[in-house]
Chains A and B, each alone.
Chain A
Amino acid sequence: MNAMSEWETVIGLEVHVQLATKSKLFSGASTLFGSAPNTQACNIDMGMPGVLPVLNEEVLKMAVKFGLAINASINSPTQFCRKNYFYPDLPKGYQISQLDNPIVEAGFLEIILKEGKKKIGITRAHLEEDAGKSLHEDFKHLTGIDLNRAGTPLLEVVSEPDLNSAEEAVAYLKRIHSIIRYLEISDGNMAEGSMRCDVNVSVRKKGSKELGTRTETKNVNSFKFVERAIQYEIKRQVSVLEAGENVVQETRLYDSQLNETRPMRSKEFANDYRYFPEPDLLPVLIDDEFINSLKDQMPELSESKTKRFVKDYQLTEYDANVLTVDLNFANFFEEVAAKSKNPKLAANWVMGELSAFLNQENLTIQETKVDSKKLGNLLNRIEDSTISGKIAKEVFEEMWNTGSSPEKIIETKGLKQVTDSVEIREIINQALDQNPTQLEQYKDGKDKLFGFFVGQVMKISKGKANPEQVNKILKEKLEE
């Protein structure tokens, strides 16, 4: 990597966010994913002769909310335009998009890196309609066209070239993802294409003021692929430049199977889009009253939530950050914290045991097998010393696998902690009796063996002895 260090990477991202409206951008047809082909395309989506677009006002609200979340200005009037190109899944032969006066302009957001925070500029975010899908696999020598997706609203978010590594790009993408999820304007499901990313990468000699020639890698659809595609492009461009050649400005695609990018056929992108104002839609005025009413509806976003978690729950900034990346995750934590009354413990469990189980089975927090109420109850059993933290893990696993309540599991498995000092004293005596040699050595000054005896006590009690009491009584015993 030393050879790389004289090079600097410049990255800009174009993120397409599918907005979670019930109906399409310019028609009343449903936007539901996964229906039979062409069952959710009305005359307007199909571009029938004579049809006209009518703007879905819900989309405006969503775009303005996004603009407010990234500290941007909202353009009024905002103007739609036609972007002309021929493709079979583009029914009208033009896409209704925005060029001049996009709805959102000049915003920024902050990403959190190991080195600290970094501000990333967002040039613009504009509305446009999605195209349909061409199906090449299902028909021999034919292409099928499914127009269900045609007309689905997209918000295209264009960043400034402020990102300098794959890590920064992914952090930025995750922030965008967090914002759209918090605002509930998109499900952000990258696998279903609800969030797609075009990656612009160029490299230049460190210290150089001029930008290098960039390539655009289209439609990368996971955080991991974005990271890999960028890493691949950086290496490729550096080796091209170091061989004394020039990077070709081109559109590329990322092949996740081979983990490489390669150029698209030039025909697939060599277009003069002949943009012009959409005469079927008047410029849209967005007044202050409209913006203010949306300001009032803005939810607490992850940044402020992080601050609140640090303040209210005395969490570290790191922990608070982990908990607030995903809104549902943050909400789950707050429910557990409220139930258990010990936020720190709740945070440890949500980030630790729960996350481990979710990851293992590749589940989202909404699919968790232990709900927040049950987890809260489990933590309360630790708090009230019914069970130890160690036993709690055993109970949690049982809860996860059976769906049973912690109380029932503790009861039926007899896992209730031993807190009776008489009983604990007996177990301690047993442990000391069984290990006379070690007792001898301890009395000769080998203090480290204290832990050994604690272990033996826990072993005999099958982990149920209250550790604090064990410590206290064992100490007394050994001092005798």
Chain B
Amino acid sequence: MPELYQLTIKEKLEGLKNSSFSSLELTESYLERIKRIDPELNSYITVIEEEARVKAKESDQRYQAGSPLPLDGIPIAHKDIFCTEGVLTSCGSKMLANFISPYSSTVVKKYEESGSVVLGKTNMDEFAMGSSNETSYFGPVKNPWNNKCVPGGSSGGSAACVSAGLAAGATATDTGGSIRQPAALCGLTGIKPTYGRVSRYGMVAFASSLDQGGVLTKTAEDAAYLLKAMSGHDPKDSTSLNVEVPDYINEINQDIKGLRIGLPKEFFSMNLPQHVEKSISDALKVFEKLGTKIKEVELPHLDLSLPVYYVIAPAECSANLSRYDGVKFGYRCENPKDLDDLYMRTREEGFGPEVKRRVLIGTYALSAGYYDAYYLKALKCRRLIAGDFDNAFKSVDLILSPTAPDISFALGEKSSNPVEMYKQDIFTIPANLAGLPAISIPCGKHKGLPLGLQLMSKSLEESKLLRTAHHFQLNSDWHKSWPSL
């Protein structure tokens, strides 16, 4: 008999419906695990214990009344980038370490409306800038599979907490791989939907044209439940897509026979570690068995992705983070001499080194005389990369690659070498630049640490990604194991 936390979301919903256990019992079981396990992992910044119990009781009443909501009683966690009314929303930064949000993001509201129970807010790299969760003001997060290793980032807290069974699923955001890379490093399913599928209203901005909300879960089926709840058009977000959200849960069982999966030769000529190559070729055998066709595709401008990203993302971030000036909310330095001193010391003391580095890079890239050479050129290259995908998707339905260059690495191993850290996202960044949906699923293990593969599709084809991932999981066991904690 599995423990409550080990049940899939579908099984949890059935259990709640059948009164096998109550929502309060389910919530208490998670709160107990958090108390026991999280002091070591550090995956939560805030646990909302009392409020969670209140919501769980409300959920039980709805079950008793026979009118439960779609995710009624499912305990989840929100990345601390989603504004939550009356709750600390720190974004992993000293700058917002005292910021109690006066309003809730659209994502938080949608989950409220779906009946889910929020256990707390998860740790993250400061302002979502990082690939190891080591830039958080609230301390690093440990990988549940090996506490000497990082969980990935920036959604490291969300990944670690789901992987350790401290929430049934967690929201996350992905600007260059911040959902998928931690999914791979923690052995989870992580989906970044199409840009515009999930509202960005109330999601603290890092790089507006790349940021996209999504989820981290144990399985693709769990992801279908959570993604359905958070997606949809939001009039408060002008970049939100006004298109209907398919029924991911029902469509997940549709056959994947005949789907064409493309392998970009640029990715596979990169000298991948042997265990990464092996995990991918093993996965391809499963996909072939499921009746898909594998073929090579070309994405000739792929090598531009990393440099283009590290111009566009910092440029947008440099403007998005200007509001943290010590005037209206958040951190303010003590006894400023004058206005300049207020600005300089507030930002010097309130931001960590990685955030400062990116603000400086972005400010430089947008400066008079450099704009054309950096920002404008990066925008043009971005079009080329998006064009590569348009071409590739003429002959294939999905594109497959590793999610991350390797398994997780030791805490501190890359934190003094930013470029090494940036290379963590080499496979994930292209989907953000092109605005495409992508999913990462577990596909192997090396030295006891998980490996993941990534699938990308055309815009708005999240359903196809979830379906393909689900069928893979029906024919593999990598997603089933739990770390021993």
A residues in contact (CB < 8 Å) with B: 43, 46-55, 82, 84, 86, 88, 91-94, 145, 272, 274-276, 279-282
Q: CB-CB contacts of B214-236 with A at 8 A, as 1s and 0s? A: 00000000000000000000011
Contact (A86, B322) CB under 8 Å given A43-B102, A274-B366, A276-B315:
yes
Do A49 and B316 have beta carbons less than 8 Å apart?
A: no
What chain B residues lie within 8 Å of A86 (beta carbons)? Answer: 322, 325, 343
Question: Of residues 197 to 251 in B, which have CB atoms within 8 Å of A's CB atoms?
Answer: 200-205, 207-209, 235-239
User: In the docked arrangement, what's the CA distance between A145 and B239, Å?
Assistant: 31
Do B202 and A51 have beta carbons less than 8 Å apart?
A: yes
B196: nearest residue on chain A (CB-CB)? Answer: A282
User: In the docked arrangement, what's the CA distance between A116 and B318, Å?
Assistant: 52
Question: Of residues 300 to 333 in B, which have CB atoms within 8 Å of A's CB atoms?
Answer: 315-316, 318-319, 321-323, 325, 327-329
Contact residue among B207, B319, B328, B363 (Cβ-Cβ distance under 8 Å from A82): B319
What chain A residues lie within 8 Å of B89 (beta carbons)? Answer: 49-50
B367 interface hit (Cβ, 8 Å): yes
User: In the docked arrangement, what's the CA distance between A52 and B99, Å?
Assistant: 18
Contact (A145, B327) CB under 8 Å given A92-B322, A276-B315:
yes
Do B239 and A280 have beta carbons less than 8 Å apart?
A: yes
B364: nearest residue on chain A (CB-CB)? Answer: A274
Closest 5 CB pairs of A and B: A93-B322, A274-B366, A279-B208, A279-B209, A50-B202
B474 interface hit (Cβ, 8 Å): no
Do B209 and A48 have beta carbons less than 8 Å apart?
A: no
B234: nearest residue on chain A (CB-CB)? Answer: A52
What chain B residues lie within 8 Å of A274 (beta carbons)? Answer: 318-319, 363, 366-368, 371
30 A-B residue pairs with CB within 8 Å: A43-B103, A48-B102, A48-B329, A49-B323, A50-B83, A50-B101, A50-B105, A50-B202, A50-B203, A51-B201, A84-B318, A84-B366, A86-B325, A86-B343, A91-B327, A92-B322, A93-B322, A93-B325, A145-B327, A274-B319, A274-B366, A274-B368, A274-B371, A275-B366, A276-B316, A276-B366, A279-B207, A279-B316, A280-B205, A282-B238
Contact residue among A46, A52, A91 (Cβ-Cβ distance under 8 Å from B200): A52
What chain B residues lie within 8 Å of A52 (beta carbons)? Answer: 200-201, 236-238
User: In the docked arrangement, what's the CA distance between A50 and B339, Å?
Assistant: 25
Do A88 and B99 have beta carbons less than 8 Å apart?
A: no
Known: A50-B205, A84-B319, A279-B207. 9 other contacts (CB 8 A): A47-B328, A49-B89, A50-B83, A50-B203, A50-B204, A54-B236, A88-B325, A279-B208, A281-B238
Contact (A53, B238) CB under 8 Å given A46-B328, A92-B323, A94-B319:
yes
Do A272 and B99 have beta carbons less than 8 Å apart?
A: no
B111 interface hit (Cβ, 8 Å): no
User: In the docked arrangement, what's the CA distance between A29 and B316, Å?
Assistant: 26
B91 interface hit (Cβ, 8 Å): yes
What chain A residues lie within 8 Å of B30 (beta carbons)? Answer: none
User: In the docked arrangement, what's the CA distance between A275 and B375, Å?
Assistant: 11
Do A276 and B319 have beta carbons less than 8 Å apart?
A: yes
What chain B residues lie within 8 Å of A279 (beta carbons)? Answer: 207-209, 239, 316
Do A93 and B323 have beta carbons less than 8 Å apart?
A: yes
Contact (A280, B208) CB under 8 Å given A49-B91, A145-B327:
yes
B96 interface hit (Cβ, 8 Å): yes
What chain B residues lie within 8 Å of A282 (beta carbons)? Answer: 238-239
Do B103 and A272 have beta carbons less than 8 Å apart?
A: no
Distance of A180 from chain B, by nearest CB (Å): 27
Do B99 and A49 have beta carbons less than 8 Å apart?
A: yes
Contact (A84, B105) CB under 8 Å given A49-B96, A50-B204:
no
Do B322 and A94 have beta carbons less than 8 Å apart?
A: yes
User: In the docked arrangement, what's the CA distance between A323 and B441, Å?
Assistant: 76
Distance of A153 from chain B, by nearest CB (Å): 16
What chain A residues lie within 8 Å of B315 (beta carbons)? Answer: 276
User: In the docked arrangement, what's the CA distance between A33 and B315, Å?
Assistant: 36
User: In the docked arrangement, what's the CA distance between A91 and B339, Å?
Assistant: 15
What chain A residues lie within 8 Å of B363 (beta carbons)? Answer: 274
What chain B residues lie within 8 Å of A91 (beta carbons)? Answer: 323, 327-328
User: In the docked arrangement, what's the CA distance between A272 and B363, Å?
Assistant: 10
What chain A residues lie within 8 Å of B375 (beta carbons)? Answer: 276
User: In the docked arrangement, what's the CA distance between A49 and B134, Å?
Assistant: 22
Do A84 and B322 have beta carbons less than 8 Å apart?
A: yes
What chain A residues lie within 8 Å of B235 (beta carbons)? Answer: 54
User: In the docked arrangement, what's the CA distance between A93 and B317, Å?
Assistant: 12
- Pick from A49, A50, A84, A274 the residue with the most CB of B within 10 Å: A49
Contact residue among B91, B102, B103, B327 (Cβ-Cβ distance under 8 Å from A88): B327
Question: Of residues 328 to 366 in B, which have CB atoms within 8 Å of A's CB atoms?
Answer: 328-329, 339, 343, 363, 366
